[in-house]
Amino acid sequence: MKRRDFIKKTALATASTIGMPYILPSGRLFARNGVQMAGHVVFVMFAGGIRQQESMLKRYLAESQGLNIEGNIMYNMLPGAPPELKIVYGVTSQDGQPGGQPIDPILDTPLQLQGTLFQESRYSAGGTGHYTGLVTGVSGNYGVTQGLQARPQNPTIFEYLRRHAGFKATDTWFIGNGISGSTPLLNYSAHSNYGSQYGANFFAPNVTFGEQGQNHLKGFRQFHPEEELGPIQEMREFLNQNYMQVGRNIPNLNNTEEEVADIKNFIESTFERLDNGQIAFPPVTDNGDLSTIGYATEVLRWFKPKLTVINMSAVDSCHASYTNYLQALHRGDHGIAHLWNFIQEQIPEMSGNTLMIVQPEHGRNYASNAITDENDWFSFDHDSDENSRRIFNMMVGPCVDANLLVGSPDNPIGDAADVVPTIAEVFGIKDQVLSSGYLQSGAMSLFDRI
Amino acid sequence: MRTFTLLLLLGTLWLGACKEKTYVYEVNEVNVLPNNSEKDKEKSIPQFISILYANMYQQALSPDQMVDISELIASIGDKQLAYEVILAKFVTDPDVQIPSDTEMRNDIEQFVIDTYKRFYVREPTEAEKTYFINYINSRPNVSPLMVYFAFATSDEYNYY
């Protein structure tokens, strides 16, 4: 072959290989249209309803209780000095003051300085309710007709990734902080083109490994893979084939047999590690959010998922106790820092290759309600006033600029529905997701907002 | 007198007209069991777990346990997997009512019929019966527990 012919044919072969569509497990042809920006994404829904005043604006008691005391109680995420007076957000101090001892920072450099902060974004449609907010976070659509106790109407980011990027079931995880309030329904939508077969695996680990799990799951029998499971599967296959003739089977996530075995091994191992005190809980773990973060580190360590979504909610105590809200806010910051630190230091496969996104599902009212707590401080609801539509978004990882501040209170940039197209862009399927027709009108990747 | 006789006659005729012959029908006793094609409703989590418990323990699940186990299942995304691990926990309990291997192999046909009734609330078809008799006969390592596990984690068991 002549040199020129060789070069020509090699170039053509290379070009055709690059442009060649992948055949996904779903059977659908697909060509990735973007460059993958990170190997893993961890999206923390810092949910429950956070006011900008106590978070981004660091106003502590100054814009809620009429006390001129400001300060930053999220010092792992944000730069700035903590308050010096009326410290209630920490752990019990040595002299017995409840909340009087702030939790030691975990990170030397706050996440804001390591990444990009959209300090003033919007929750732009629908009522500021938790489930609507969570649905928006995972589906990129406010679904204003979305009901409670129902799966999201529009496809979730898990389904987009499994269908269009070919992720397997254990590549995508949703870690919920409980099973109340429709939380377990967020791992896949009711959409007829997507649904359970593209859903994410889900744990509410405080239940799975909590009292219920201890009583009814721990110590379950692991069947021998060949001698026992093999015949069981053969017999079950026969039974299912007979029943399949009437066209029904159990809705499932399409975990392969290997993935099912892996998840069972994970459950068994987690109970063992729990007994041995080996779960990497944050240094302070005294609420459900923090234990959820601890178990989430186990999921990350074991499965190294491509997408993990973690849900918190303790700040919602603000309906009845502003003091508890401050404590939950401070602990949320602590948990997020622990999570980030764990990824960087304990999971080599994810270290330096993980984008973390943090976003509340919505804000809280500007005006208080009439309920006062033990400090005589007023509480706050979330009734869709303008203040409850104010949120923030923080991204940190290999593909974002460090120490970049985007937007301001006078110039809000970003929307709660933007996270889904952002994650889609990270994994190279932004065009498919944007053109699906299921996103909120105007939703776009945060990278395109910068 | 004539009027009285007329009324008496009319009354007698009226009473006689209302008299109806009574028939008593009887039917043979038939054991009515559903076939699998009629099972089209998915069991809810509490339904599934209480039926599973009853099938395995031959007694009812307490309300507290049902709430706990239902919550546990809700905490795991893959429901099939959740059912499997819950059942795998049940079978570690010595109180679970499972026939011995000897009992099964002494009368495999009856074991298969009983298992279908226990888990599917129906008789096996001839093809189903033949398959299981042959399967168990040809595999000495297959235990009643393994057969039960296959039934309780099958698709049909999830419907009623």
Find chain A residues with C-beta within 8 A of B84's C-beta.
260, 264
The secondary structure of A224-252 as a DSSP string is PIIIIIHHHHHHHHHHHHHHHTTT-----
Cβ contact, residue pair A215, B68, below 8 Å: yes
CB burial string A61-88: b at 16+ within 10 A, e below:
bbbbbeeeebbbbbbbbbeeebbeebbb
Q: Over the stretch A279-296, which tens digit does the pLDDT of each residue have?
A: 999 999 999 999 999 999
Q: Does some domain include residue B3? A: no
- Per the structure block, which two tokens stand in for A84? 């010096």
Cβ contact, residue pair A212, B65, below 8 Å: no
Q: Does some domain include residue A289? A: yes
Q: Which H helix or E strand runs over A359?
A: strand A354-359
Residue of chain A with shortest Cα separation from B73: A208
Supply the pLDDT for residue A38.
97
pLDDT at A249 over 80: no
Find chain B residues with C-beta within 8 A of A159's C-beta.
none
Find chain B residues with C-beta within 8 A of A200's C-beta.
77
Q: Over the stretch A36-69, which tens digit does the pLDDT of each residue have?
A: 999 999 999 999 999 999 999 999 999 999 999 9
Confidence of residue A413 (pLDDT cuts 50, 70, 90): very high
Q: Does some domain include residue A11? A: no
Q: Does some domain include residue B21? A: no
pLDDT at A15 over 90: no
Q: Which H helix or E strand runs over A203?
A: strand A201-203
Q: Does some domain include residue A166? A: yes
Find chain A residues with C-beta within 8 A of B132's C-beta.
235
Instruction: Put the strands of the sheet holding A307-311 in their side by side order.
Output: A201-203, A172-175, A307-311, A40-45, A354-359, A390-396, A116-122, A404-406
Partner residue facing A179 (CB), from B75, B131, B158 = B75
Supply the pLDDT for residue B84.
96
Q: Does some domain include residue B110? A: yes
pLDDT at A26 over 80: no
d(CA A254, CA B142): 27
- What is the total residue count of chain A? 450
Higher pLDDT, B114 or B12: B114
Q: Chain A contact for B138, CB < 8 A?
A: no
Q: Does some domain include residue B22? A: no
Cα three-residue angle A190-A193-A198, rounded to 5 degrees? 75
Q: Chain A contact for B89, CB < 8 A?
A: yes
Q: Does some domain include residue B11? A: no
Q: What is the ipTM of this complex?
A: 0.90
Residue of chain B with shortest Cα separation from A224: B146
Q: What residue numbers bound the domain in which A57 lies? A: 40-65+105-449
CATH number, domain of A123, equals 3.40.720.10
Find chain A residues with C-beta within 8 A of B159's C-beta.
243, 248
E strand residue ranges, A100-151: 116-122
Q: Chain A contact for B57, CB < 8 A?
A: no
Interface test with A, best of B45, B70, B78, B116 (most A CBs within 10 A): B78
Query: Helices B45-57 and B63-74 meet at what angle, rounded to 10?
Result: 120
Cβ contact, residue pair A242, B128, below 8 Å: yes
Cβ contact, residue pair B86, A260, below 8 Å: no
d(CA A49, CA A229): 46
Into how many domains does chain B fold? 1
Into how many domains does chain A fold? 1
Q: Does some domain include residue B59? A: yes
Q: What residue numbers bound the domain in which B78 lies? A: 36-158
Q: Does some domain include residue A200? A: yes
What percent of chain B clears pLDDT 70, i.e. is strictly above it? 92
Supply the pLDDT for residue B16.
65
What is the pLDDT averaged over residues A299-317?
Answer: 98
CATH number, domain of B122, equals 1.10.3130
Higher pLDDT, A352 or A248: A352
Task: Determine phi and psi for B63, rounding to 5 degrees.
Answer: -55, -40
Find chain A residues with C-beta within 8 A of B146's C-beta.
223, 228, 231-232, 235
